[in-house]
């Protein structure tokens, strides 16, 4: 069964991929199965990678979301909630490849939703998966373009959507060199919804049908806010009293030194200022504590249960799952992973808590988003300790300037939410009528 649209012919490169994939499948299976088993995943769930479902297919129409890992998987939950509210009879399936994503999704599954690991991208597992689940709509999130999964799903009559499409410039350049194969793969999609106009232009340059490309919303910008434990928030607020605070969050090795140098500069003119420092990986707490002491700064450490005192210059928040508290506590946030070539982290989590963002130049995973946020004034880019100290001082000393930045962020999120309504309508239009 096909969808009735004229089809672009498969290319030699695709045929080569299809021919080689069965030969490589045993080696790929050994690797991915080993990772899942090492994580403690039960054997029936490990076999999902071979297309063997561990759950029954629900009756009724099923919408299938395929995402790469944690961020992409969690970003679709809000959309599932909205689709489920629009049509209470819809059922949902999320596939993602990492055990971490499966674990987190399991804690936040919307009603009528289940998770499976995706089949390996080779003939038998994909066919087995499609025979069991028989999805009525397939939605691939961001840049998860698995050729056989796409081609076989379309051949089975499943309308396919590329959602929240995001492609790096390197990826675009690579696909442009393989224009015919890129055009063939993009032809599998009935609809491509991009995060922004730049990605829409890139998809057209790669051979995507302009009639099927639309600018949509960024799913991460409309995800639910991070959780906040109100008791902990109140406790830390009381401990800080009226002291001014700024936050450096999701920092990586090589970035804390810059942040601490900036804080030392700020203390010259703001002697009661407290830095709340939340490293991306809390298990680096001992290393970061040593850096703070080497910088000649006093600290209290969250993982020990300590609270900031009057003389505490740095509050080291080396715990998991509490970032939402820190963003709620203070609207002025430097977001790490951006001073080094790491790719950056999600600025929308800061904005959803009402904050404004400072970023370094290395946030390439969010390049298109930051380009717009910088343009509208919801974010500022810094390059080192001096520019970071100057930006923090400006926003701390000028509440109006900080509020303008926060308002720009709120406006951005509102526009993304409005776009989400259009996304829901477009997806419902593609679903076959029940």
The burial class, CB within 10 Å (0-12 / 13-18 / 19+), for 183 is middle
| Comparison of pLDDT for 91 and 78, the residue scoring more | 91
Token pair, residue 426, equals: 């477009």
CA pair distance 376, 398, nearest whole angstrom:
18
Q: Which of 80, 88, 81, 182 is nearest to 141 (CA)?
A: 80
> What pLDDT does residue 418 have?
83
110 lies in some domain: yes
Q: Does one domain contain both 131 and 276?
A: no
Whole-angstrom distance, CA of residue 129 vs CA of residue 152: 11
Within-domain flag for 5: no
- Would 366 be classed as within a structural domain? yes
- 246 lies in the same domain as 368: yes
Q: 124 is in which domain, residue-wise?
A: 12-216
Mean pLDDT throughout 327-342? 96
Q: Looking at residue 157, which CATH number applies to its domain?
A: 3.40.50.11720
Q: Are residues 191 and 284 in the same domain?
A: no
pLDDT of residue 301: 98
Q: Are residues 237 and 204 in the same domain?
A: no
Residue 264 Cα distances to 241, 253, 278, 353, angstroms: 21, 19, 17, 27
pLDDT tens readout for residues 360-389 = 999 988 887 898 899 999 999 999 999 999
What is the average pLDDT across 67-77? 77
207/241 same-domain check: no
* Among the listed residues 214, 239, 180, the one whose alpha carbon sits nearest the alpha carbon of residue 11: 180
Q: pLDDT category, 44, cuts 50, 70, 90? A: very high
Q: In 3-state terms, what secondary structure has residue 149?
A: helix
What whole-number distance in Å separates Cα of residue 336 and Cα of residue 278? 9
pLDDT at 1 over 60: no
Cα torsion through 282, 224, 111, 32, rounded to 10? -40
Q: What is the pLDDT of residues 354-365, one digit of tens each?
A: 999 999 999 988
- The answer to whether 190 and 212 are in contact (CB under 8 A) is yes
Q: What is the mean pLDDT of residues 71-78?
A: 79
**Residues 365, 357: Cα–Cα separation, whole Å:** 16
Examine the pLDDT at 415 and tell me if it is beyond 90: no
Question: Is the pLDDT score of 36 beyond 80?
Answer: yes
User: Are 237 and 207 in the same domain?
Assistant: no
Catalytic residue among 72, 91, 256, 349: 72
* pLDDT at residue 2, rounded to an integer: 55
Residue 3 lies in a domain: no
150 and 272: one domain? no
Count structural domains, the chain: 2
Note whether 116 and 157 are same-domain residues: yes
| pLDDT band per the 50, 70, 90 thresholds, residue 3 | low
Band (144; pLDDT cuts 50, 70, 90): low
Concatenating the DSSP letter of every residue in 347-411 gives THHHHHTT-EEEE-TT-GGGHHHHHHHHHHTSEEE--SHHHHHHHHHHHHH-HHHHHHHHHHHHH
Residue 223 lies in a domain: no
Query: What average pLDDT does the segment 102-114 reach?
Result: 90
Between 22 and 176, the more confident residue is 22
Residue 346, in any domain of the structure: yes
* Helix count and strand count (H, E) for the chain: 18, 14
72 catalytic? Reply is: yes
- State residue 380's pLDDT score: 97
Assess whether 311 and 196 both reside in one domain. no
Query: Is this model's pTM higher than 0.75 or not?
Result: yes
């Amino acid at each position: 069964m096909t969808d009735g649209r004229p089809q672009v012919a498969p290319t030699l490169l695709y045929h080569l991929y299809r021919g080689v994939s069965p030969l490589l499948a045993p080696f790929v299976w050994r690797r991915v199965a080993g990772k899942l088993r090492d994580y403690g995943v039960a054997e029936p769930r490990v076999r999902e990678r071979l297309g063997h479902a561990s759950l029954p297919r629900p009756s009724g129409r099923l919408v299938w979301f395929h995402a790469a890992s944690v961020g992409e998987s969690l970003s679709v939950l809000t959309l599932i909630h909205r689709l489920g509210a629009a049509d209470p009879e819809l059922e949902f399936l999320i596939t993602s490849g990492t055990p971490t994503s499966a674990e987190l999704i399991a804690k936040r599954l919307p009603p009528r939703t289940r998770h499976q690991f995706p089949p390996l991208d080779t003939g038998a597992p994909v066919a087995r998966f499609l025979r069991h689940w028989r999805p009525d709509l397939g939605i691939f999130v961001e840049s998860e373009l698995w050729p056989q999964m796409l081609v076989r799903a379309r051949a089975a009559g499943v309308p396919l959507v590329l959602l929240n499409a995001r492609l790096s410039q390197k990826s675009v350049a690579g696909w442009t060199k393989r224009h015919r194969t890129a055009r063939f793969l993009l032809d599998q999609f009935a609809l491509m919804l991009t995060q922004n106009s730049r990605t829409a232009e890139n998809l057209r340059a790669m051979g995507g049908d302009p009639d099927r490309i639309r600018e949509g919303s960024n799913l991460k910008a409309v995800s639910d806010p991070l959780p906040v434990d109100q008791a902990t928030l109140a406790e830390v607020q009381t401990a800080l009293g009226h002291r001014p605070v700024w936050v450096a969050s999701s920092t990586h090795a090589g970035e804390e030194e810059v942040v601490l140098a900036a804080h030392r500069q700020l203390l010259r003119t703001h002697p009661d200022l407290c830095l709340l420092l939340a490293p991306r990986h809390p298990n680096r707490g001992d290393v970061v504590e040593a850096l703070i002491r080497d910088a000649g700064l006093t600290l209290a450490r969250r993982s020990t249960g300590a609270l900031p005192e009057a003389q505490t210059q740095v509050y080291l928040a080396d715990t998991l799952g509490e970032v939402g508290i820190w963003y709620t506590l203070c609207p002025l946030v430097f977001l790490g992973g951006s001073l080094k070539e790491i790719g950056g982290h999600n600025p929308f989590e800061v904005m959803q808590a009402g904050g404004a963002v400072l970023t370094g130049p290395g946030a390439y995973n969010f390049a298109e988003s930051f380009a717009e946020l910088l343009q509208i004034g919801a974010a500022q880019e810094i390059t080192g300790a001096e520019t970071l100290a100057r930006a923090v001082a400006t926003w701390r000393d000028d509440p109006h300037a900080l509020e303008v930045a926060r308002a720009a962020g709120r406006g951005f999120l509102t526009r993304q939410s409005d776009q989400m309504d259009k996304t829901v309508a477009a997806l419902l239009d593609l679903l076959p009528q029940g």
